[in-house]
Amino acid sequence: MSALRHLPVVALLLVGCHWAKEPVDLVIRNAHIVCLDGAGTQAQAMAIHEGQIVALGKEHEILNAYRGETVEDVQGATVYPGLIDAHSHLLGYALNLAHTDLVGTTSWEEVVDKLQDEHANSSMPWVRGRGWDQNDWSVPEFADREALDELFPNRPVALQRIDGHAVIVNRHALELTRLWKAKSLPGGEILRRPDGTPTGVLIDGAADSLLTRIPEPSAIDKTEALRIAAKNLLACGLTTVTDAGLDVDDIALLDSLHKTGDLKLRVVAMANPTEPNFQAMSERGGWDTPRLKAQSFKFYMDGALGSRGAALLEPYDDRPGHRGLLLQSLEEYEAQLRRIHADGFQAATHAIGDSAARLVLGAYERVLGGPNDHRWRVEHAQVIHPDDLNRFRRSSIIPSVQPTHATSDMYWAGVRLGRGRIRRAYAYADLRDQLGMIPLGTDFPVEDVDPRKTFLAAVARQDAARYPEEGFHMDQALTPREAMLGMTLWASLASRMDTLTGSLEVGKRADLVVTNRDWLKLSDPHDVLNAQILKTFIDGEQVHPPVTSD
């Protein structure tokens, strides 16, 4: 295809006058640019003005035609469109980050040291941590609050055990939640010192009582958490992420952070299906700014496979007679779908089991009535009955999948599903064949945010230790190109953002990532874990590494 698609510029080029070069904000040169436009286009240089791609082409074509206020020589590095996570939980991830990770601590002293390091200067009102297990400690016993009281006399501390069934807190936390003087709590236990005062360890119902009394983080806390989260995500090359389930107040917060410039990351926000959200979204038409797309609702049809909550057509192999759970009344669900469809909104429904998927497909078919361009989605789509596969194609329904779920679940999913069903689970190639595309995500914070891990799981279907040796059902693997399209153009299509993002094309926003390896040409897909994200740009602005103004 023509490398230079900007006609007025070609005219200038023919005149050949140096002074006639068109001034632009940014020229990226000396690059291996993989456009991922679905046509295999590549380029060596690109011109960007006012956040938009104005030209892509060969090095000399771009350099002869454009004078960049900034010229970025990337020294032969690879440039892809900014990466997109099609299913994730931005706010949940952000708030989790503020919790100190205590998984793998080997002593109570180590826990206390970690808290001191991470929280001494933080502004979050509560000091939170999670993941400790006293069985891993040098003294394998529940700790006493003494060290926490010394370190944080005026700030409440709550540290959840790895299984969530116990919490260690300080005196201030107990006083603030009015549990200091509690005699007993239903379904739980308050451990006590010989003098009768609480040790700070609360078990089961007592732990729950405390945790539910911790106030919802304020908008200021959320803002701070989002700022830290965005920094991590941009460093991974992500320029757009999803929040699959937010209330309108939080969507409005994201919008305000975009407006003040505190948040650069593009966000696709799916609203929770509550009455206040239905009303507010309908009244204001959702949000549709270049950085925030809130034009969809997230529903839940069933639970998860691990806890045997996914709704299956036939009983679980490891629990006779049990078929999982439906979380929705079908009449109510379909009425809600019709309601949002009338406003032009998109539906995305969590369906992990084949029974849940069948019900969702049926409801979508009745509401959509055949081929369409509404881009309604089935989230996870982990087990699909073969009879239902082509219903995705027939009604233009998009399966949205998370390859790292396959490599996290592969150790035990076969026990739940049995031999026959595991063969048709996590069937990404079959699902891709339906519409010729498949958007990829991570479901972070459930899985790691890192797109390199998604790539590896999709292509090699192995864990980082190369298990299983042959790959997990390799007939369902995606090619490297498909994995990249799944994290760019296809993810953008699934979020109705493809006029702006998802590929490097003239007229689209200049979201891009510079990496030191071409992920499409790795002889060993595991090498992707050695690829570095050198720079990330949104709207032609470098957002990683952060540019410090002087």
Interaction site with Zn ion (CB under 5 A): 244, 443
On whether the CB atoms of residues 412 and 311 are closer than 8 A, the answer is no
Q: How far is the C-alpha of 260 from the C-alpha of 112, rounded, in Å?
A: 37
Query: Smallest Cα–Cα separation from 98: which of 169, 158, 40, 149?
Result: 158
CB of 326 to Zn ion, least distance (A): 18
Closest to Zn ion by CB, 244 or 543: 244
* Burial of 15 from C-beta contacts in 10 A (0-12 / 13-18 / 19+): exposed
Closest to Zn ion by CB, 409 or 443: 443
Query: Smallest Cα–Cα separation from 35: which of 56, 49, 54, 50?
Result: 56
Closest to Zn ion by CB, 64 or 402: 402
Closest to Zn ion by CB, 264 or 377: 377
CB of 300 to Zn ion, least distance (A): 9
CB of 44 to Zn ion, least distance (A): 39
Q: What are phi and psi of 354, to 5 degrees?
A: -70, -25
Amino acid sitting at position 28: I
Q: How far is the C-alpha of 90 from the C-alpha of 76, rounded, in Å?
A: 33
Closest to Zn ion by CB, 243 or 511: 243
Closest to Zn ion by CB, 244 or 340: 244
Closest to Zn ion by CB, 147 or 351: 351
Closest to Zn ion by CB, 134 or 242: 242
Tokens of 140: 């394998």
On whether the CB atoms of residues 199 and 159 are closer than 8 A, the answer is no
CB of 337 to Zn ion, least distance (A): 19
CB of 296 to Zn ion, least distance (A): 13
CB of 452 to Zn ion, least distance (A): 20
Closest to Zn ion by CB, 295 or 503: 295
CB of 233 to Zn ion, least distance (A): 16
Q: How far is the C-alpha of 311 from the C-alpha of 324, rounded, in Å?
A: 4
Tokens of 468: 């299983």
Bridge pairing between strands 266-271 and 157-161: unpaired
DSSP 216: P
Contacts of 96 (CB under 8 A, 6+ apart): 445
Closest to Zn ion by CB, 89 or 171: 89
Tokens of 533: 């994200």
Q: How far is the C-alpha of 494 from the C-alpha of 406, rounded, in Å?
A: 20
CB of 88 to Zn ion, least distance (A): 7
CB of 165 to Zn ion, least distance (A): 23
CB of 328 to Zn ion, least distance (A): 16
C-alpha to C-alpha distances, 102 to 105, 128, 161, 212, 233, nearest whole angstrom = 6, 10, 9, 21, 22
Closest to Zn ion by CB, 168 or 244: 244
Q: How far is the C-alpha of 454 from the C-alpha of 462, rounded, in Å?
A: 11
On whether the CB atoms of residues 509 and 52 are closer than 8 A, the answer is yes
Tokens of 368: 């959509």
Q: Strand, coil or helix: what is 543?
A: strand
CB of 443 to Zn ion, least distance (A): 4
Please give the full DSSP string across 515-544, using - where no structure is assigned.
ESS-GGG-SSGGGGGG--EEEEEETTEEEE
